Structure 1
Amino acid sequence: MQRQWVISNPKVMMGKPVIVGTRITVELILEKLAAGETIEQVLEAHPQLTREAILAALAFAKEALRADVVYPLAEAPA
């Protein structure tokens, strides 16, 4: 059975998806990776995380964005 890594609880971080057993949000992990940090740097900064948990956060984000929702981008000013 695969471990559930990401949970959402209204009593933890206002219900944002977090890594189970922590207060580390999927959002924070994505921000750090998008800013250019490596997985190793994220793990060093947050020793309670594992590589598997970070990959689960990425998979969670992928599935969340897969929903049939259109995200319009603001047009750049002319």
Structure 2
Amino acid sequence: MNWKERVFADPLICHGQVCIKGTRVPVAVILDNLSEGVTEAEVLRSYPTLTSEDIKAALGYAAELSRERIISISA
């Protein structure tokens, strides 16, 4: 799965935060929840517009960032 198909940033949506396409859910919110021990099922219940694939995309985006390279995100 290509995380770039599900993750985007638009200065006019959520103040330019990186979000899941088709939602206003920032990737950071998903990652914060997961890092605090919230399960995937709980995240999906809290944010019904998300799918399991969206959570995987958020993790893929985080993994890409951890490689300490500059990556391009387009709307």
TM-score normalised to structure 1 length: 0.80
| Aligned match of 2:7 | 6
Matching residue's letter, 1:14: H
Name the SS for the 1:18 alignment partner.
Answer: strand
Number of aligned positions between the proteins: 69
Normalized per residue, the structure richer in helix is: 2
CA distance in 2, matches of 1:18, 1:48: 12
| Aligned match of 2:26 | 25
Give the drift of 1:68.
4.5
Structure with greater contact order relative to length (CA < 8 Å, sep ≥ 6): 2
Aligned-residue Cα RMSD (Å) equals: 2.0
Query: Residue deviations 1:22-68, cap 9 Å, x none?
Result: 11001000111111100000001111100000000010011012124
Show structure 1 runs of 5+ residues with no match. 70-78
Which structure's CA Rg is the greater one?
A: 1
| Aligned match of 1:36 | 37
| Aligned match of 1:60 | 61
TM-score normalised to structure 2 length: 0.83
* Percent of pairs with identical residues: 38
Show structure 2 runs of 5+ residues with no match. 71-75
Ranges of 4+ aligned residues in structure 1 off by more than 6 Å: none
